[in-house]
Chains A and B, each alone.
Chain A
Amino acid sequence: MAAVTAPTPPSTTPPSTSTPALRLDGVAYAYPGGRQVLYGVDLEVAAGERVAVLGPNGAGKTTLMLHLNGVLRPGAGTVEVAGLPVVEANLREIRRRVGIVFQDPDDQLFMSTVRDDVAFGPANLGLTGDALAARVERSLDAVGMAHLADGPPHHLSGGEARRVALATVLAMQPDVLVLDEPSSHLDPLARSELAAVLQGLDTTLVVVTHDLPYALQLCPRSVLLDGGVVVADGPTADLLADTDLLRAHRLELPYGFDPRSLSRRTASTPASPSSAGGPR
């Protein structure tokens, strides 16, 4: 499984004094049954950065994601969110700072109306009354779903449900937004509508996906995860142009997608300041 071909690049932090939004240091994890999924993940994400975590099925993407808000705790290594270590005592604050949008909106939307569902998170944080109502309104506006606030979540279409799920997390006003396979099961239009919403946000963004064009559209930097370690880290366009690297890790650009067009895009896409090391 651990087909680690490319060496892990050296730490890619720019010489900056600001604390990274996320910092993972040698994170290893084995599920209670004994199946080890993560074998020492090092990753830093600067505040305001947009990073895609790419990888084939079973690479450990979802497991890694669940470490970011302390749902899973590493067996070895440390996770820090804006300098705050992910430990029991900080969990409440960590979960406010890191919002996760899960893959299946049906798992995320469990209240009887869209409005109540969006209110669930901030109400858990202690918001009440007008402040709560205003927060709900703003979050639904941000995803363009305010007109469906009083409907039940199970009447939403796939794209609407995904956007409402995003609103439920935005309502927590997270510093870091983590999305698990945001484009799965969406039709092309819903997909691009969601991308437009995401591009309009100014939070730190981590997109866990194997939808490579979506990663390119949303995130200047990508991290390739396979066999429970980071095997490549660099500008998304560079990673996607490296056909051999992709093939070695069971990834492939969609049919008709020309990797040569990526280098031209690289020129126009300003590389993220913290994405120093290339894929090899």
Chain B
Amino acid sequence: MGAGHLAPLSVPGPSPVHAAAPHVKVVATLLFVVAVVCTPRQQVWAFAVHAALLAAVAVLARVPARALLPRLVVEVPFLAFALFLPFVARGERVEALGLVSVSVDGSWAAWNILAKGVLGLTASLLLVATTPADDLLRGLEKLGVPSVVTAIAGSMLRYLGVIGGQMRRMQVARISRGHDPRWIWQARAVASTVGALFVRSYERGERVHLAMVSRGYTGSMPVLRPLPPATAAGWAAALSLPVVAALTTAGAAGWLP
């Protein structure tokens, strides 16, 4: 249910990555991210291998880089924080470019956040690009996520736009009556807008539930389309990604003999 707002994230195609069962892809992505997070930050070559793996998946799925790169922008606030680290962290310091002194430890910490953030996010973006949101939610259900949670997530996706539109209209109405918040103590009206929006969304939730019950809803969403089947070969192919990543991590960490 409710894929509308993920539609721009999805890049439909006929590739084997698209055809794989969604819950298989979810498991593979999750394990891959765990492998990336466990990678020691100073083993730069290991991150290169992880990146190459993702690039291979992207090529296989025919997801162009221009579909992925703009989405990485979500990360910017976290990276902005990471960029501070080299300047504020303590410990041994070196001159960078002969201009400023930066902390060695802080620089590694920043690199760590940057590399792991970009790799983890790219993996998730590939998952979303190759899996329709509905299928993704049903895949999660198959992995044991309670159906009430996936139903809530689905409704959230569907109603994000509706509630966003409502918020914009309330904002325009506020501005039209001369509200021009510049200072924090003028935030009162904004706060009450949010409160009103919450109450309205709650009431809408009740009305949507009524409409669902009126059409025979009894607590579980009907299955309208069968999910792609998960074959042994499908599992093997999908899990090869996190397995290679895990071996790389293990090698980088010196866990392999």
Contact surface of A with B, Cβ cutoff 8 Å: 66, 69, 71, 92, 95-96, 99-100, 102, 104, 106-108, 110-113, 116, 119-121, 123-125, 132, 152-155, 168-169, 172
Contacts and interface: CB of A to CB of B under 8 A. Distances in A.
Nearest to A102: B211
Contacts of A125: 216
Interface stretch (B93-101, B105-113, B202-210, B245-253): B202-210
B214 interface: yes
B214 A95 contact: yes
Given A154-B161, A172-B216, A116 B211 contact: no
Contacts of B147: none
Contacts of A104: 207
Contacts of B217: 120, 124
Contact-residue bracket for chain B: 20 to 34
A116 B224 contact: yes
B1 interface: yes
Given A102-B210, A107-B204, A116 B1 contact: yes
Interface of A is mostly: helix
A152 B204 contact: no
A174 to B, nearest CB: 10
Contact of B214 (A71, A152, A153): A71
Contacts of B212: 110, 120
B216 A92 contact: yes
7 contacts: A102-B207, A102-B211, A107-B210, A112-B3, A112-B157, A119-B222, A125-B216
Nearest to B213: A71
A168 B215 contact: yes
Contacts of B7: 152
Contacts of A69: 214
Contacts of A106: 159, 162, 204
Given A121-B216, A123-B224, A154-B161, 15 more contacts: A92-B216, A92-B218, A102-B210, A107-B207, A112-B2, A112-B4, A112-B157, A119-B224, A124-B218, A124-B222, A132-B224, A152-B7, A155-B4, A168-B215, A169-B215
B207 to A, nearest CB: 4
